[in-house]
Amino acid sequence: MEQQPERREGRSFPERKGQKRKLEEGAAATEDREISAVTTDGVHALLSEVAAQVSVLNSAFSWHESDRAAAKRATQVLAELAKNEDLVNVIVDGGAVPALLTHLQAPPYSDGEKPFEHEVEKGSAFALGLLAIKPEYQKLIVDKGALPHLVNLLKRNKDGSSSRAAVSVIRRAADAITNLAHENSSIKTRVRLEGGIPPLVELLEFSDPKVQRAAAGALRTLAFKNDDNKNQIVECNALPTLILMLGSEDAAIHYEAVGVIGNLVHSSPNIKKEVLAAGALQPVIGLLSSCCPESQREAALLLGQFASTDSDCKVHIVQRGAVRPLIEMLQSPDVQLKEMSAFALGRLAQDCHNQAGIAHSGGLGPLLKLLDSRNGSLQHNAAFALYGLADNEDNVSDFIRVGGIQKLQDGEFIVQATKDCVSKTLKRLEEKIHGRVLRHLLYLMRISEKPIQRRVALALAHLCSPEDQRTIFIDDKGLEYLLSLLGSTNTKHQLDGAAALYKLANKSMALSPVDAAPPSPTQRVYLGEQYVNNATLSDVTFLVEGRRFYAHRICLLASSDAFRAMFDGGYREKDARDIEIPNIKWEVFELMMRFIYTGSVDITSEISEDLLRAADQYLLEGLKRLCEYTIAQDITLENIGSMYDLSEAFHAMSLRQACILFILEHFDKLSSKPWQNQLVQRTIPEMREYFCRALTKSTTNLQSLRL
């Protein structure tokens, strides 16, 4: 049910990975500002420009000042061109890579001055790093032998030089390694084999912050999904320095440092333990309050990784103050910041000691609000966190009080995993609606303001156990809150009330047998099909539409109180041989008699209403129920009003119940009908009577089943 950030295909929750360096030349690094990107009037002009610079590089590999100046200028021109990704292909096709690689190293040594020391190498590393932005050129550059030279450049500080140029060449070499290894597993490994990791770790303590950032950025890339690289970084004792960097006042430094640590611990439980043992937890929690959103995101994701399996760590994260800043991040306009804080809170909420604390600190409301997001990953992480919070019964009342049940029920969830998670959350809440939780909710329903009373009643209609329905909705008047919603002028309130009542009706019917016809005072006698309209032993004849129908008094006496009164009372039909039956069609009378003789009959929708009228007239409750059932199958949005009128005219309780349930089930569609409001107001008294009867009966039935 949980979705970890690194495994999401959509990658709205970004994977931990080494970031490509945004290589921008600083003001001091480009002395000749007149060399801006060459305008491209055409490919031919561009190719000529590239060819000219490549020619300079190929012919200027010496310590002569003029050669060094020309080579420096050529690397700068190529770098400026390479800043435009659309030109990279032309630069590579023009043969720039081998020429630049040559100048990653100093020319053969000669006595005397070394003009532009480090600067040509810096320019070459810078240009190659820009060309490596395109993944298809990473292998080409490495295969041509770039890595050994770049690793050597990382060590330029070893000769004691601390000039600006020396610092810049180290930084550009680290940036180039970052881009060459980005999302390229084999190159990450080759960097390690070339000995690139130890000097990068050493550079974390370099005096220049830009070098620190560049070294950390390279290590971040090299550590991503490469276990051997991770292990070597840790073995080189990088952790103490990285943890110190987390407390840097330079946002870029702590952002890169937390990124390195994140990639080190990802899918590496042993390294995670080492990181925690080295004291990373509190500095990471401190970054949650950073002014740098990128560091906040990385810190939240890292805390989620810390909390993945270690229950003790979950508790420590909360104890050290992570919850409130994470909750504040849920309300940030930054979508990724919200995603990662929801992810961290979701992991923390899987520990029972944290669940109540997160809710008490105000986490419920923001998490529920995130369910409205159209970002599938953000929505799912919020849902997973809510699933965790729902496990603690101390949170159930708060869930309901802030409208969480309706939020979970009404949400439009983007992915199936989120729908499943929400369904399990509702089930988890439902399982806790008893004992002290239920008592607290009933207390809220009695003493709270009306909006909360309504929310409690709505939630309980969906979640309560059938055995508690009578207590909640009859004894504690929860039914009145639901019925009042139907009379609201707020359409949403009406729909919520109808849905809750429909759910309540289904729950009560699940425990109640189908209403049977009330027993006749006289035991029924079914003579059988062969005696229907049969003169054999007939002792009474009915005249219907001028036709004779032969019947038997004993069967009629047992069938209904109406016939019993006719033949056993003071009416003139008592001793009559022929009895005229007015106002009933022959086919209706025949079906009525067939039911009396057999106890069953097939009823078509065409004749059902006439047969209902006859059954009502002759007090044939069983036949009446069959007619009501048949009529109820034809209820539609267009005829619901007339159907309800019919149920009232013949006191057809089953049909009226079917009309009520239809209204509740299709309330949203009926709301567009101009007469809907009047119909609902007419039915509310009958709804009250129906639910009082149904909820009382369901509780009684449940108690009898237990006995």
Query: Could you give the domains of the chain?
Result: 41-194 (1.25.10.10)
Query: What torsion do the CA atoms of 469, 474, 476, 478 make, to the nearest 10 degrees?
Result: 70
Mean pLDDT for the chain? 88
The string of pLDDT tens digits covering residues 133-167 is 999 999 999 999 999 999 999 998 876 667 899 99
The string of pLDDT tens digits covering residues 173-202 is 999 999 999 999 999 999 999 999 999 999
Please give the model's pTM, rounded to 2 decimal places: 0.81
- pLDDT band for position 585 (cuts 50, 70, 90): very high
**Hey, what are 534's tokens?**
């049969």
Q: Are 306 and 345 in contact (CB under 8 A)?
A: no
Query: If DSSP states are collapsed to H, E and C, what string results for 565-603?
Result: HHHHCCCHHHCCCEEECCCCCHHHHHHHHHHHHHCCCCC
In the Cβ-directed half-sphere of 337, how many Cα atoms lie within 13 Å?
Answer: 20
Residue 547: beta bridge partners?
A: 544
- pLDDT band for position 507 (cuts 50, 70, 90): confident
CA 178 to chain centre: 35
Measure Cα distances from 75 to 110, 152, 198, 370 in Å.
Answer: 22, 19, 28, 50
- pLDDT band for position 525 (cuts 50, 70, 90): low
Alpha carbons 396 and 361: distance in angstroms, whole number: 15
Q: What are phi and psi of 127, to 5 degrees?
A: -65, -45
Provide the greatest CA pair distance for the chain: 146
Measuring CA to CA, which residue among 206, 291, 192 is closest to residue 234?
A: 192
| Mean pLDDT score, 199-209 | 96
pLDDT of residue 54 exceeding 80? yes
The string of pLDDT tens digits covering residues 308-355 is 866 678 989 999 999 999 999 999 999 999 999 999 999 999 998 899
Query: If DSSP states are collapsed to H, E and C, what string results for 313-377?
Result: HHHHHHHCCCHHHHHHHCCCCCHHHHHHHHHHHHHHCCCHHHHHHHHHCCCHHHHHHHCCCCCHH
Q: Are 213 and 18 in contact (CB under 8 A)?
A: no
What pLDDT is attached to residue 352?
87
Measuring CA to CA, which residue among 178, 151, 169, 174 is closest to residue 20?
A: 178
Taken as a whole, the chain contains a residue count of 707
Alpha carbons 188 and 168: distance in angstroms, whole number: 23
The string of pLDDT tens digits covering residues 92-133 is 999 999 999 999 999 987 677 888 989 999 999 999 999 999
Q: What are phi and psi of 319, to 5 degrees?
A: -60, -30
- 33 or 255: which carries more pLDDT confidence? 255
pLDDT of residue 30 exceeding 70? no
What pLDDT is attached to residue 529?
86
Q: Are 277 and 283 in contact (CB under 8 A)?
A: no
Q: What is the DSSP secondary-structure string of 251-264?
A: HHHHHHHHHHHHHH
DSSP state of 135: G
The string of pLDDT tens digits covering residues 589-640 is 999 999 999 888 999 999 999 999 999 999 999 999 999 999 999 999 999 9
pLDDT of residue 509 exceeding 80? no
**Hey, what are 690's tokens?**
């129906």
Crossing angle (nearest 10°) for helices 227-235 and 251-265: 120
The string of pLDDT tens digits covering residues 680-703 is 999 999 999 999 988 887 656 655
Amino acid (1-letter code) at residue 532:
V
| Mean pLDDT score, 68-86 | 95
CA 89 to chain centre: 42
pLDDT of residue 18 exceeding 60? no
Residue 514: beta bridge partners?
A: none
| Mean pLDDT score, 9-35 | 38
- pLDDT band for position 228 (cuts 50, 70, 90): very high
Report how far apart the first and last C-alpha atoms of the chain are (Å, whole number): 41
Q: Which helix (H) or strand (E) holds 540?
A: strand 540-544
- pLDDT band for position 673 (cuts 50, 70, 90): confident
Q: Helix, strand or coil for residue 226?
A: coil
Q: Are 302 and 261 in contact (CB under 8 A)?
A: yes
Q: Which helix (H) or strand (E) holds 549?
A: strand 547-551
What pLDDT is attached to residue 4?
63
Q: Helix, strand or coil for residue 37?
A: coil
Pairing verdict, β 578-580 and 547-551: unpaired
In 352-490, which ranges are continuous DSSP H helix?
352-360, 364-370, 376-389, 396-401, 404-410, 416-430, 435-447, 450-463, 469, 478-486
